[in-house]
Amino acid sequence: MSLRSIISLITFPGVMMHEWAHKKFCNWTGVYVQKVAYFRFGETAGYVEHNTPDTYTQTFWIATGPLLINTLFTYGLAIISSHFEPLSTPHLIFLWLALSIGMHAFPSNHDMSHISSHTSILRYFALPLVWIIKTANHLRIFWIDAIYAILIISLGGGFNWLYLYIQDLVF
């Protein structure tokens, strides 16, 4: 079992949320979904098979849906976790969910290729985003996906208890 497979297993809620986001954006943009695997063991932890989108807008939102949805859920779960006693069971569960979901926010390079290869002139406006996401995907060997999740959790106040603890130690 590869390290990536082990990480996917530990962070399975994030894989499921990632695929759910693709599916929801298919539904919201009117693209028929043929098949969904929210989580599975194998080369690809999950996938959504859908009809080819008719418009660039559909393509863009289906491809980038996980970035938006997973980021919002990560932020929301961090806010919820901050309302529990630090290191209590509910606090740790919400932090784990936030980290798991945040680590799977980045769309795949395959998703990004749909945006960059589309024939619409609008694709040129999205090329910086495509470049950033593809770069982030290559930086996963340096845990950039975990760093991103931790950043979003921090913005949501999920680690406020840690800041207070360090402050007590220093001052």
Q: Indicate the domain borders of the chain.
A: 3-170
Residue 65: band (very low, low, confident or very high) from pLDDT cuts 50, 70, 90 = very high
Query: Would you give the DSSP letter of residue 122?
Result: T
d(CA 10, CA 7): 5
Give the contacts of 42 (CB within 8 A, at least 6 positions apart): none
d(CA 80, CA 70): 15
For residue 65, the one-letter residue type is G
When the pLDDT of each residue in the chain is averaged and rounded to a whole number, the result is 91
Residue 123: band (very low, low, confident or very high) from pLDDT cuts 50, 70, 90 = confident
d(CA 74, CA 103): 9
User: By the 8 A CB rule, do 77 and 90 touch?
Assistant: no
Q: What is the average pLDDT across 128-148?
A: 94
Q: What is the average pLDDT across 58-71?
A: 97
pLDDT recorded at residue 171: 67
Q: 65, 62, 98: which is closest to 82 by C-alpha?
A: 98
Pairing mode, strands 47-50 and 33-37: antiparallel
Q: Pick left, alpha or beta for residue 106 (phi over 0 → left; psi -120 to 50 → alpha; otherwise beta).
A: beta
- Taking 80 as the threshold, does the pLDDT of residue 168 lie above it? no
d(CA 81, CA 112): 32
Query: Would you give the DSSP letter of residue 140?
Result: G
Residue 76: band (very low, low, confident or very high) from pLDDT cuts 50, 70, 90 = very high
pLDDT recorded at residue 105: 97
Between 161 and 24, the more confident residue is: 24
Query: Would you give the DSSP letter of residue 139?
Result: G
Q: What is the value of pTM for the model shown? A: 0.89
Residue 44: band (very low, low, confident or very high) from pLDDT cuts 50, 70, 90 = confident
